[in-house]
Amino acid sequence: MSAGDPEGARDRTLAQIDANLEPSLARLFDLLRIPSISTQPDHAGDCRRAAGWLSDLLGGMGFDASVRETPGHPIVVAHDRSARHGPHVLFYGHYDVQPIDPLSLWDTAPFEPVVRNGAIIARGASDDKGQVMTFLEACRALREAEGELPVLVSIILEGEEESGGENLLPFLKANADELRADVALICDTGMVGHEIPAITTMLRGLVGEEIVISAADRDLHSGIFGNAARNPIHVLADIIAGLRDEAGRVTLPGFYDGVTDVPEAVRAAWNRIGLTDEAALGPVGLSIPAGERGYSALEQTWARPSCEVNGISGGYQEPGFKTVLPAKASAKISFRLVAGQEPERIRAAFRDYVRSRIPGDCAVEFRPHGGSPACAVPFDGAPLAATLRALGEEWGRPAVTIGSGGSIPVVGELQQALGMNALLVGFARDDDRIHSPNEKYDVDSFHRGIRSWARILHALAAI
């Protein structure tokens, strides 16, 4: 609990943030100028430079900051112990960025940030340097205006998020005592539309599985053998068609065991967002929700488990026609999971189902491609409520908890290594073009993002 007049202190900080937007932007631009592309070996030095720059910045702000080695790109760790009370938060972000190709599609140089039409344009502007700096600039303003942070803050910034690096989890495990906190804060997600602040509390899990079905021991002429000899493409089509019923539900026995609907209040909040099925699907040229009947497109992707075929292959695929009966056919199939579903149980149910559909003289090979459970922050926790409230105050409209169909590995890794829940709060917008040419982050996202964090840390201090 902050001493004295916490609201007055907070308002001084917000004023400080407003007054210092220009130097805040200048610092972000310095970071954006470092081409820290983690997946390209010739940028390894730039990754190290970005880590050093951040460590120096944090050290200058009063953090106990250091650049820590890993087998890959280094990790920045920093602690601020100025708070005399309050919970301990661990902030996570990443300083590495995606490659820039195709360079010809950029309107400006990717590592020479500019502001155009109210947007900061540069590789990493949104993902994730701009978002990281919202938190760091909030900490700076809090220290400058109030002399201390409202809560104990630790920060971890990694450099391999965009390159599938596997060094974070071992690092978290090896430094668990140092890094464990009451709650993790992650700034690598977005808002709903341009104005609705959001906390991503549900991340779907994934089970990936490839199946290769073999029939005859060679490709056959479909004129000579067609009808009599088994066609593995037909076997595969039957398997895929049988995976979902008329109502769009996955048919695997036990698939929905442990799956619960979101609370009615959350569903009502989602309905209030006004993201209709048409609004969700229209931008990609569709209009009819394809999935589970009885759920909106939003609910289908955020909160319902599903099954999709991500690739299928068999027989003759070149231009023209060849009357072949292939020896093999294959498909890559993924299941998105929600809380309550255990990946390996789903995988086993899928394999049982497939085996039950394989004719006696055919064979199936299973190739696993990853499995991770869903992550969910309990809807009833105090940090969540406090953060929602703080966001709502900044943006002038109620913040919502949302789901995400995609995966953010660090959330599960924090759970696994440190036993911590994470609140995913981000200010990216749908049109930020992350991973694409002309990536941008609105100055408004940056400015109000900083303000949001100041409010959030105060709110967390009060719980």
Nearer to its own copies, 139 or 239 (CB): 239
Question: Residues 415, 418, 424, 425: what is their CA dihedral angle, to the nearest 10 degrees?
Answer: 170
Strands (E), 125-264: 152-158, 183-186, 198-203, 205-214, 220-221
Q: How far is the CB of 315 from its own copies (least distance, A)?
A: 4
Helix (H, G, I), strand (E, B) or coil at 216: coil
Asked, as a colleague might, if the bond just before 253 is cis with ω within 30 of 0, I would say: no
Residue type at 323 in one-letter notation: T
**Using CA atoms, how far apart are residues 111 and 104, in angstroms rounded to an integer?**
14
Instruction: Using the minimum distance from each CB to its own copies, give the nearer residue, 115 or 324.
Output: 324
Residue 326 CB, shortest distance to its own copies, in Å, is 8
First-last CA distance in the chain? 8
Instruction: Extract the tokens encoding 275.
Output: 């993201």
Instruction: Kindly give the pairing relationship between strand 88-94 and strand 152-158.
Output: parallel
Rounded CA gap, 144 and 142, in Å?
5
CB of 293 to its own copies, least distance (A): 11
Q: Which is nearer to its own copies, 5 or 361 (CB)?
A: 361
Q: Which residues pair with 67 in a beta bridge?
A: 76
- CB of 3 or CB of 288, closer to its own copies: 288
Cβ pair 438, 106 in contact under 8 A: yes
Residues contacting residue 447 through CB under 8 Å, at least 6 positions apart: 17, 18, 21
Task: Please count the other Cβ atoms lying within 10 Å of the Cβ belonging to residue 373.
Answer: 22
Minimum separation from the CB atom of position 202 to its own copies (A)? 12
Nearer to its own copies, 405 or 437 (CB): 405
Minimum CB distance to its own copies, residue 369 (Å): 4
CB of residue 91 to its own copies, shortest distance in Å: 24
Cα 267 to Cα 296: distance, rounded to the nearest angstrom: 10
- Least separation in angstroms between CB 407 and its own copies: 6
Residue closer to its own copies by CB (options 208, 398) is: 208
By the 8 A CB rule, do 79 and 154 touch? yes
The distance of closest approach from Cβ of residue 240 to its own copies in the complex, given in angstroms and rounded to an integer, is 4
CB closer to its own copies, 398 vs 405: 405
Rg (the chain; Cα; Å): 25
Query: Residue 134 or 306: which CB sits closer to its own copies?
Result: 306
Give least dist CB 199 to its own copies, A: 18
Least Å from the CB of residue 387 to its own copies: 23
Q: Is the distance from CB of 137 to CB of 434 less than 8 angstroms?
A: no
Distances (CA, A) of 191 to 188, 360, 371: 11, 52, 27
Nearer CB in complex with its own copies: 91/270: 270
Q: Which is nearer to its own copies, 104 or 287 (CB)?
A: 287
Could you say which DSSP state residue 149 is in? -
CB of residue 330 vs its own copies: minimum separation in angstroms?
8
Cα separation, 181 vs 173, whole angstroms: 13
Pairing relationship of beta strands 205-214 and 363-372 according to DSSP bridges? antiparallel
Minimum gap (Å) between residue 255 Cβ and its own copies = 13
Q: Which is nearer to its own copies, 163 or 313 (CB)?
A: 313
Contacts of 190 (CB under 8 A, 6+ apart): 198, 426, 427, 428, 429, 430, 432
Residue type, 264: E
Contacts of 16 (CB under 8 A, 6+ apart): 141, 144, 145
Token representation of residue 36: 């820290």
Q: How many CB atoms lie within 10 A of CB 199?
A: 20
Nearer to its own copies, 213 or 269 (CB): 213
